[in-house]
Chain A
């Protein structure tokens, strides 16, 4: 393939992978603390709407983006109340959050469908964007893409190098032992839920503030579920999540470009590719190593000690 085709394709892969990347990182963060949250889709759509509304009424997309994160945290806090206070079933609570989020966002957002709000426009990073090949692929996007480059690095450092991060993982691996050493497991799980929700909200806002500058019902269109699946295929590792999210985005962009260039392959098969190939490649790439970092106590509720 010639550079004129492959560079826009890879740039599109980064852009369409970014909302999924935010959400996947959020879910990894939550699951590291031992809580399974299937409400990613709900937190994302609430984030998308909040970001859009705040940007529309304050004129500041940056404020909208932050507000989306806070809204995502508030939405997932409901999941925390159910699972951490009332020891409810995490699967059921997560599904409820998805349904509630979609319903609430559609209900509140209906009058705003089809309107637009100020959002983020692409801006090329000086110096970096002029690197041949890598520049146009990675450094000619909007600022939210650049922010998403930093998050996996910070998250890995946090989870492996800081006291807080190690304690959060202890809460997800062996809560009884963590409690015995004096850690407040419930507090760390709260951090996992609310912190993860923040990123999910940001992922939603990427769709309404950068990818498009629109709000509509069902804007997330199932991307939250892709994120839930990617966490498993990424083996709970932020680095692999980046790979998975861009792979999915890339194949989505590729199949659209194959159609545009006039392939005779049925569009139904092409539309299946992103889902099928992402699973296939991630499973294949883990075939030998097989070192999953799944938290041992994922989905297991912990009785409050006090």
Chain B
């Protein structure tokens, strides 16, 4: 009982301390699903936050490793009560909690990453990561000798499936014989299992390992085996210096600063944003030394074409695994179809179930 009282006193005093906060400056809060030190998804968002912090007259703060669900609602509610002007919540599971908090604080601007629900003061956003994945596929397709690419993937949801398809299309564009083998781990961050999944792909002959996971486990497997790898989220070359070809990465800074600026000027209206290469939100990390110049040049040219809108990733004819045409010849798939993608393109070995 005494211990309980001590704990209570500590909790209360922490609460009182944090209640003292300066205002006048614009305050921007970020909610992250994982720790920022992980060179992964939340790290990338935090680099974006630092760009906001560098804006004059703006202070930022963040809460990391916030579990999705009721805990996140408490965190956002706390930020809103303290008078934060803008709140960014960067994981899918924050959607409904944010919607609830947004209804209570109509003057605060809310941004939710990767979801689909909106309100007058709550917009949503995500990046067209599939464009960068297409480019990384071009690199992988150029570098493979076995024509087998391994892809360690988290969960069979449209975001991940879209990325695998874009990767496969990119690889096939330079190497029609290439197949992409997919292993699902049903984890976002379990380095041991994800490394084991990469090893299982290496055992069936893959010589480039790509990943849609937040841990560098698959990179370690590729490095140890002496083959190539493609990272994700941010430059993962420190985990696999000899293997890491490149990585599709996030650059949230331009988007975050633009949104905060709009809110400050009062011009912001809640919208659903899906920026990509054109806005500089996604891109590739620096190439490894082993990537030849002609591949680099080709990727740079493609990057410019996609950014200018001259080229799109999902343009027909695109067939699914059974050989049925899913996107007709010359037709660019609309965003709605991309957001709900649940099928693999031809040349991907694996199941979306």
A, B bound: yes
Which residues of chain B from 252 to 308 have a CB within 8 Å of any chain A CB? none
Partner pick for A252 among B184, B193, B195, B206, CB 8 A cutoff: B193
Contact present for A219 and B203 (CB under 8 Å): no
The answer to whether A260 touches B215, judged by C-beta atoms less than 8 angstroms apart, is no
Chain A residues, CB < 8 A from B220: 212-214
CB of A217 within 8 A of CB of B353, answer: no
B239: A residues at CB distance < 8 A:
116, 214
Residues of A within 8 A of B206 (CB): 260
- Give CA–CA (A223, B7) in the complex, Å: 31
Interface positions, chain B 164-218, Cβ under 8 Å from A, are: 181-187, 189-193, 195-197, 199-201, 203-204, 206, 215-217
* Docked complex Cα distance between A235 and B284 (Å): 53
Q: Which of A252, A261, A271 contacts B196 (CB 8 A)?
A: A252
A262 is an interface residue with CB less than 8 A from chain B: yes
User: Chain B nearest CB: distance from A165 CB in Å?
Assistant: 32
Among A261, A263, A268, the most chain B Cβ lie within 10 Å of the Cβ of A261
**Which A residues touch B182, using CB under 8 A?**
259
Q: Please, which residue of chain B has its CB at the minimum distance from the CB of A5?
A: B203
The CA of A198 and the CA of B217, in the complex, are separated in Å by 26
Which of A12, A216, A257, A266 has the most chain B CB within a 10 Å cutoff?
A: A216
Of A15, A252, A253, A267, which one neighbours B156 at CB under 8 angstroms? Answer: A267
A114 close to chain B: CB less than 8 A: yes
Contact of B191 among A106, A111, A216 (CB under 8 A): A216
Task: Check if A212 sits within 8 Å of B217, measured CB to CB.
Answer: yes
C-alpha gap A163/B193 in the complex (Å): 41
In the bound complex, do residue B35 and residue A262 qualify as a contact, i.e. CB atoms below 8 Å apart? no
- CB pair B38–A262 under 8 Å, yes or no, is no
Residue in chain B with minimal CB distance to A259: B183
A206: nearest chain-B partner, CB-CB: B192
Beta-carbon contacts under 8 Å, B120-141 to A: none
The total of chain B residues at the interface (CB under 8 A) is 42
Contact B186 A257 (CB under 8 A): no
Whether A217 lies near B349 (C-beta < 8 A) is no
Instruction: Report if B64 contacts A (CB, 8 A).
Output: yes
Residues of A contacting B35 with CB < 8 Å?
Answer: 110, 113-114, 217
Measured CB to CB, the closest approach of chain A to B312, in angstroms, equals 29
The verdict on A221 contacting chain B, using a C-beta distance below 8 Å, is yes
In the complex, are the beta carbons of B37 and A262 less than 8 A apart? no
Asked if B196 and A12 sit within 8 Å, CB to CB, the answer is yes
Q: Please measure, in the bound complex, the distance between the C-alpha atom of A218 and the C-alpha atom of B187, giving whole angstroms.
A: 11
Q: Which residues of B contact A106 (CB under 8 A)?
A: 65
Taking CB atoms, residues of chain A closer than 8 Å to B181 are 260-262
* Chain A residues within 8 Å of B215, by CB: 214, 216
Q: How far is the CB of B250 from chain A (nearest CB, A)?
A: 15
Contact A207 to B37, CB < 8 A, known contacts A110-B65, A271-B186? no
What's the minimum C-beta distance from B249 to chain A, rounded to whole angstroms? 15
Write the nearest CB–CB distance from B340 to chain A, whole angstroms. 19
Q: What sequence of 0s and 1s flags, for each residue 329-353 of chain B, a beta carbon within 8 Å of any chain A beta carbon?
A: 0000000000000000000011101
The answer on a CB contact under 8 Å between A260 and B192 is no
- Closest-by-CB residue of B relative to A263 is B351
A281 at the interface (CB under 8 A from B): no
**Are B192's CB and A115's CB within 8 A?**
no
Query: B203–A8 contact, CB under 8 A?
Result: yes
By a CB distance below 8 angstroms, the chain A residues around B199 are 8, 12, 256
Closest to A207 in B: B192
Cβ contact within 8 Å between B196 and A266: no
Chain B residues contacting A225 (CB-CB under 8 Å) are none
Asked whether B248 is an interface residue with its Cβ less than 8 Å from the other chain, the reply is: no
Please determine whether B350 and A253 come into contact, CB atoms closer than 8 angstroms: no
Shortest beta-carbon distance from A194 to chain B in Å: 24
* CB-nearest residue of chain A to B199: A12
Interface residues of A in 4-46 (CB under 8 A from B): 5, 8-9, 12, 15-16, 19
The answer to whether the Cβ of A305 comes within 8 Å of any Cβ in the partner chain is no
Residues on B with C-beta less than 8 A from A243 are: none
Is the C-beta of A174 less than 8 angstroms from some C-beta in chain B? no
Return the chain A residue nearest B40 by Cβ.
A114
Contact digits for A237-277, partner B, Cβ 8 Å, 1 yes 0 no: 00000000000000011001101111111111001000000
* A253 contacts B351, C-beta separation under 8 Å: no
Give Cα distance in the complex from A106 to B201, angstroms: 31
Q: Does B353 lie within 8 Å of A266, measured CB to CB? A: yes
Is B114 in the interface zone, CB < 8 Å from A? Answer: no
Q: Could you tell me the distance in whole angstroms from the C-beta of B235 to the nearest C-beta in chain A?
A: 12
Which of chain B's residues 214-246 have a Cβ closer than 8 Å to chain A? Answer: 215-217, 220, 238-239
Given A114-B43, A214-B215, A267-B184, A219 and B196 contact (CB-CB distance below 8 Å): no
- Within 8 Å of chain A (Cβ to Cβ): is B48? no
B203 touches A114 (CB 8 A): no
Q: What would 15 A/B residue contacts be, using CB atoms closer than 8 Å?
A: A9-B203, A19-B192, A110-B35, A112-B37, A114-B39, A116-B238, A207-B191, A211-B195, A212-B195, A214-B217, A216-B191, A218-B189, A259-B182, A262-B349, A266-B353
Residues of A that sit less than 8 Å from B by CB: 5, 8-9, 12, 15-16, 19, 106, 110-116, 207, 211-214, 216-219, 221, 252-253, 256-257, 259-268, 271
Given A216-B191, A267-B184, 14 more pairs with CB closer than 8 A: A12-B199, A111-B37, A112-B37, A116-B239, A214-B191, A214-B216, A214-B220, A218-B190, A221-B187, A256-B183, A259-B182, A260-B206, A261-B204, A267-B351
- What are the nearest 3 A-B pairs in CB distance? A266-B353, A114-B38, A256-B200
